Copies of this chain bind each other. A is one copy, B any other.
Amino acid sequence: MTIKDIARLAGVSVSTVSRVLNHHPDVSEAIRAQVLAVVEEHHFIPNTAARRLVQPQGNTVGVIRSGNGDPFYAPIFSAMEEALRARGWRMCLRQLHYSDDELACAAELERAERLRGIILLGGRFDYSEAMAAPLGVPFVCCTHRNLFGDLSPDRYSSVAIDDEAAAWRAVEVLYALGHRSIALLVPSRQDHSPGELRFRGYCRALEAFGLPLAPERIAVSGSYSLADAYRATLALIDSGTPFTALFAVSDLMAAAAIRALHERGRPVPRDCSVIAIDGLELTEYTLPPLTTLVQPAAELGWQSVELMLDLLDGGAHRHILLTPELRAGASVAPPP
């Protein structure tokens, strides 16, 4: 079933069918109805491949999802998919692991699927001009910015929270409660990921509050995984370093940390407070409910689509910084 068949059945030419299908105004109402009737009757849907072949501009946006497996990205991704579809755009997805090169993948996808633009969800912070060079279409970073590479800010767009500021706020909450020995749980001090920025925010906050930065109070887990966070927290506790509060850079890591603390006889928040950043829905129902800075997931998703469509419409690159909201759980309290 092609438009040729529809044309024949409706007693019109293919171009008329094409016009009807593409909502062109210059078709008489009578003919339009006539054609649509046949289309409906046969459940006809035009061949997308042919359409894309002939239309220089497609309507597909690529989404590269890095750090796959992290539940934090799920609602952001869903929001993106919905926003894209609502605006009449197709999405082409590629899921990557943290170690994969998302920019190389993006370039490949762009050419293979004739993408109009690319949204990078959860990528890295260290793009160079050279890495971005193969990309022929605009791209927007969601949940990250290029803070470490030399790629100019007017070469890409982004939506993210201010990780450093968020970390500062987390530490501030603990400080305001009276904590002076605040430990940190982070995957790495210098992996150019959000963790590094949150580590920075932690350092700056301590400094601002006149607290010493004690390296022995920093648990480096090596990854964002629950298992690694759990192990690193146990090691921190077992090292004997005193601390009355812990700032975990992600909800997931905080959950693992709380279990570790509990198992070493340090109930949260009575013996130790825990705060984090991300705001998974589930951690609102854990014991204790986690106090955390919630990232506006849905907004991150649709803002990145908004940014993309604006770009495709000739708009300039922009960088949006969203503010996380403190979700008061029950994992923080004054020091014992």
Contacts and interface: CB of A to CB of B under 8 A. Distances in A.
Contacts of A230: 285
A289 B259 contact: yes
A259 B287 contact: yes
B286 A287 contact: yes
Contact of A256 (B93, B95, B280, B285): B285
A284 interface: yes
A64 to B, nearest CB: 12
A286 B286 contact: yes
A211 to B, nearest CB: 29
Chain A contact residues, majority secondary structure: helix
Contact of A287 (B43, B114, B258): B258
Contacts of A287: 258-259, 262, 286-287
Interface in A34-79: 43-50, 52-53, 58, 68-69, 71, 74-75, 78
A71 B45 CA distance: 33
Given A45-B108, A93-B93, A71 B282 contact: yes
Nearest 3 A-B pairs (CB), nearest first? A49-B52, A45-B111, A49-B53
Interface of A: 43-50, 52-53, 58, 68-69, 71, 74-75, 78, 81-82, 91, 93, 95, 107-108, 111-114, 134, 226, 230, 252, 255-256, 258-259, 262, 280-282, 284-287, 289
